[in-house]
Structures are given as structure tokens and as C-alpha cells.
Amino acid sequence: MIKAFIFDLDGVIVDTAKYHFIAWRRMANAVGSDFTEEENEKLKGVSRMDSLDLILEWGGVEKTAAEKQELATQKNEWYREYILKMDESEILDGTLPFLDAAEAQGLKLAVGSSSKNATTILERIGLKDRFEVIIDGNKLTRSKPDPQVFQMGADAMGLKPSECVVFEDAEKGVDAALSGGFYAVGVGGDNLKHAHHVVPDFKTLTPNDILQVLPAAAIQ
């Protein structure tokens, strides 16, 4: 029986990808490099330091470990400048009614995000208190596609992976959910077809739509 929904944050509840892109590109330009929006898609669900390594590699830029830490810190400061201006208007359409309906049906709600700023964002958009559990990048030692973030969320709720549905917009996030034994629902992209189910968004979605297509059966 499915007892909980675990949501990734970026691209599922809010669209902060645009702010990540602006901040990362600002950092890349500062070291004489650049990268494209297409390359930025490959950073979804990837930790901050791993994202930095990819961007530097794309630009052929080499930095010491200490310099990388400084760049990552600077990028995060720029990113926080943008997200601290966020408010509830940036919650993606359909999300609030979906959360309301899930809560009314007695489902537990959690956030599982690799972002170290997840709690700050949830506070800014007024959703922090809607989730029983929030697992963010500050609590993790392994990034997606490792399932640690979702396993910690399930553990904190006292549930098994097979009792939880993960909502993800990133390929690595879906990979993480599947490898951890969770039901995986892809939100958006065509690259998520390996999920158990894919939805375009939450605009007309109800919890029953999910519960009916993901019966409480053993995950293959």
C-alpha cells in the first residue's frame, strides 16, 4: 500500500533551474568559460561540486580543490541572491491542489532534494510546514543517482521504499528512485520514460490518478 509521496524540489514544486543556470553561467564567465542551456540540463539532480566539475571540464578549465571550493561558494551566494526574492507565486501550477488532496487522503508528504538550499526555498514559497520530512543536500553524503536522499526520507517517515512514490523531473533522480526500490513518477521530460509513470505536470493531476496506475504490487 502506498503511504507517502516524496517530491524532488527543483523542477517539480518550483522551477529554480533558471536561477541555477544564471548563477552557474555567471561563475563560468568569471573564469573565462561558458556553457549552454542544453548542457545545463545535464546538471539536473547533480550535486553542487559535481556540477562545478562538469562545467569546468566543458570549458577546459582546471582549478585546485581550494579554488573549486571558492567558486562553488561564490556560485551559491549568487544563487541565493536570486532565490531569496522568490515567493509563493513561483510554485508550479497545480502543485498546491495536489498537495491538498494528498494530505486529505492521509498520505505523508516529504521533500527529497540534493539542493542545500531546499529548506530556504520552501520557506520563501510558504511550503516548509506542508512536509513531514525534508531531506536536502546538507544531510547527504552521496548524490543522485544514488538513492540515499529518498532512502533517508522513507526512513524518517518509518516507511519502506515500496510504500513511497517519488516525483522527479531529472533522469538521475528517476534512476535514484528506481535503484532504491521506490515507485518513480517522472514529471515533464521525454527522457523520463524509464519511470513507472510519466506526467506532464500537476495541473490536472490527482493523487488517485497516481494510486490507480501504481498499484500496491511488488516492484520489478
Catalytic residue among 10, 136, 169, 175: 10
Closest CA to 136 of 48, 51, 25: 48
For residue 220, the one-letter residue type is: Q
Cell of 189: 521530460
Between helices 17-30 and 48-59, what is the axis angle to 10°? 50
The answer to whether 10 is a known catalytic residue is: yes
Cα distance between residue 164 and residue 150, in whole Å: 9
Instruction: Give the relative orientation of helices 65-83 and 17-30 as an angle to the nearest 10 degrees.
Output: 140
Catalytic residues: 8, 10
